[in-house]
């Protein structure tokens, strides 16, 4: 299989998408952070000395999605039309599941933006709670589904 990010001499390149049609593209990614009961209570009780952990993580996830091309070398700068975050409290873990949905009308997909948003959001939770629990685990950062574009739709549940 020929990789699109390599030229004829196998040198890295950013893919030229100028001939592609604009289509609506949506990507949803998620990830989980597990932590100690003490850290979980700190977050859910909203008593963290650094501020509101979940709200800060959501803002960080949005910012991470927007800054993806600054972090991932071959990503195109995109004009995102929407970034939505959902945080699910996982009492039994204990921990949280962060889901990020990215959307645009454009010539290339938004999967990397959704995945980067999840990663930055979860890292923000880690940063804000690490004084209580350095053993937190970030896991299962994954693309859940995507729609739009030449390669078609992807849905993890259908694998």
Beta carbons of 78 and 67 less than 8 angstroms apart: no
Query: Is 22 buried (19+), middle (13-18) or exposed (0-12) by CB count in 10 A?
Result: exposed
Rounded percentage of the chain residues whose pLDDT exceeds 70: 99
pLDDT for 49: 96
Strands of the chain, DSSP E: 23-34, 82-90, 95-106, 137-147, 154-155
Q: DSSP secondary-structure letter at 76?
A: P
Q: What is the pLDDT of residues 21-76, one digit of tens each?
A: 899 999 999 999 999 999 999 999 999 999 999 999 999 999 999 999 999 999 99
Lowest model confidence (mean pLDDT) among 8-17, 62-71, 140-149? 8-17
Of 95, 144, 87, nearest to 121 (Cα)? 87
Residues near 74 by Cβ (< 8 Å), separated by ≥ 6?
5, 12, 13, 14, 15
Block residue for tokens 């091309």:
69
Q: Give the residue numbers annotated as catalytic, written as ranges.
A: 127
Is the pLDDT score of 141 beyond 90? yes
More confident residue, 37 or 151: 37
| Calpha distance 91→94 (Å, rounded) | 5
More confident residue, 149 or 44: 44
Mean pLDDT score across all residues of the chain: 95
- Of the pLDDT bands very low, low, confident and very high (cuts 50, 70, 90), residue 8 is confident
Rounded percentage of the chain residues whose pLDDT exceeds 90: 82
- Of the pLDDT bands very low, low, confident and very high (cuts 50, 70, 90), residue 1 is low
pLDDT for 21: 86
pLDDT for 100: 98
Alpha-carbon Rg for the chain, nearest whole angstrom, is 17
Beta carbons of 136 and 128 less than 8 angstroms apart: no
Looking at the DSSP assignment, which residues form a beta bridge with residue 150? Answer: none
Distance of CA 34 to the CA centre of its chain: 17
Of 46, 49, 90, 83, nearest to 68 (Cα)? 83
Q: Does the domain formed by 23-143 have CATH 3.30.70.640?
A: yes
pLDDT for 6: 86
């Amino acid at each position: 299989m020929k990789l699109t990010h390599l030229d004829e001499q196998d040198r890295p390149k950013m893919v030229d998408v100028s001939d592609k049609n604009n289509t609506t593209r949506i990507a949803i990614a998620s990830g989980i952070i597990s932590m100690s009961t003490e850290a979980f209570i700190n977050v859910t009780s909203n008593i963290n000395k650094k501020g509101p952990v979940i709200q800060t993580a959501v803002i960080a996830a949005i910012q991470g999605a927007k800054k993806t091309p600054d972090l991932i070398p071959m990503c195109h700068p995109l004009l995102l039309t929407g970034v939505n975050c959902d945080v699910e409290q996982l009492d039994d873990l204990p921990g949280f599941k962060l889901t990020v949905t990215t959307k645009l009308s454009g010539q290339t997909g938004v999967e990397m933006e959704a995945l980067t948003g999840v990663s930055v959001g979860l890292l923000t939770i880690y940063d804000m709670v690490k004084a209580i629990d350095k053993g937190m685990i970030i896991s299962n950062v994954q693309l859940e589904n995507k729609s739009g574009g030449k390669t078609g739709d992807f849905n993890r549940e259908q694998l």
